[in-house]
Amino acid sequence: MNIPGSSHKARAARYILDRALAEGKIIPGQTTVIEKTGGNFGFGLALACADLHIPVELAVGLSFSAVKRRCLELFGASLIGIDALKQGSTPREVVEWHLANARGLGKSYFYTDQFNNPANVLAHEIETGPEIIDQLEAWPELEEISFVGCAGTGAHLTGITRALRGDGYRVNAILVEPAGCDSKSGIFVSHKLEGCAVGVKPPVLDWELIDETIHVDESAMLYAQRQFATKHGFFIGNTSAACASVAASIQSRTSRHHKILTIAYDHGLWYV
Ligand SMILES: Cc1ncc(COP(=O)(O)O)c(C=O)c1O
């Protein structure tokens, strides 16, 4: 959780790359990976690509912190389209321009496309979910889980819920949203939960799986963040703290047979 390469998005990034390699969509020595992200998916890609010796180009919005941008470069990513971004292009437009001009640039790209790639969900259904299920063996009497998560792409909430239900647990899937946002209706306001409610309806979220939506405001998120740090010694990130706040608010639902599951997505230093 405290290392940029260990978030849930790093698991998705590694899975998508491994699958593309197995399917021959990435050819080592020929292919360059491309994506638009300066978030946890970008860190996952940068680290996995460094490990696999595959070049990676990222279009990172200029609003991302200088520290994040510098770290991505330290991990081996090339940040592309800086001039275009300065002139007002979006990261999506930067990626689209590179894909359209690949031949002239002498590149063969593989676009990981986390917002449209079904492998983003499969990563969590096939890997993150079973990883959690292994940990749940510590509670042999467990039958029901309240799974508290938020949605950017919607991939982990969908994939993990499917994996838990597939393993026989009754799952109450709870979507955490920033106060004022309604991702299902496409309503977004500016908020501090970077990574969720990102301005588009979560494209791979299976809404049929969601039982409840709970909104969290900034003060509740900050309170949960401080509580978690003082009680457990981990400075969790903003979406993690929002989920921890909701988890605390429904604590009375728990029993020997019913536990609350949530995710510490990343650390809080990025967001200070
Ligand atoms: C910190 C953080 N929390 C939550 C999410 C949402 O994850 P998902 O894209 O699986 O919905 C992200 C995604 O980038 C994230 O970086």
CA distance 191 to 218: 8
Residue 209 sits in the same domain as residue 123: yes
21-40 average pLDDT score: 95
CA distance 97 to 101: 6
175-201 average pLDDT score: 96
Residue 125 sits in the same domain as residue 207: yes
Residue 147 sits in the same domain as residue 55: no
CA distance 48 to 30: 17
Task: Say whether pLDDT at 1 is over 80.
Answer: no
261: number of Cβ within 10 Å: 22
- Residue of 16, 132, 153 to test ligand 1 pocket, by largest number of atoms within 8 Å of CB: 153
Question: Considering 52, 84, 111, which residue would you say is the last residue of a domain?
Answer: 111
CA distance 127 to 178: 28
pLDDT attached to residue 248: 97
Number of domains in the chain: 2
pLDDT attached to residue 21: 98
The answer to whether the beta carbons of residues 203 and 116 sit under 8 Å apart is yes
What is the CB-side half-sphere exposure of residue 46 using CA atoms within 13 A?
A: 29
Residue 179 sits in the same domain as residue 195: yes
Element (H, E) at 238: helix 238-249
Residue 164 sits in the same domain as residue 99: no
For ligand 1, is residue 40 a contact (CB within 6 Å)? yes
Question: Considering 111, 127, 145, which residue would you say is the last residue of a domain?
Answer: 111
Confidence of residue 3 (pLDDT cuts 50, 70, 90): low
Residue 33 sits in the same domain as residue 104: yes
Please give the number of the atom of ligand 1 that sits closest to the Cα of 39. 16
Residue 106 sits in the same domain as residue 169: no
Q: What is the pLDDT of residues 79-116, one digit of tens each?
A: 999 999 999 999 999 999 999 999 999 999 999 999 99
pLDDT attached to residue 213: 98
pLDDT attached to residue 147: 98
pTM, two decimal places: 0.95
124-143 average pLDDT score: 97
Q: Which of 131, 112, 100 is nearest to 56 (CA)?
A: 112
| Domain that residue 105 falls in | 4-111
148-171 average pLDDT score: 98
Residue 87 sits in the same domain as residue 128: no
Q: How far is the CA of 149 from the centre of ligand 1 (A)?
A: 9
pLDDT attached to residue 66: 85
Please give the number of the atom of ligand 1 that sits closest to the Cα of 154. 11
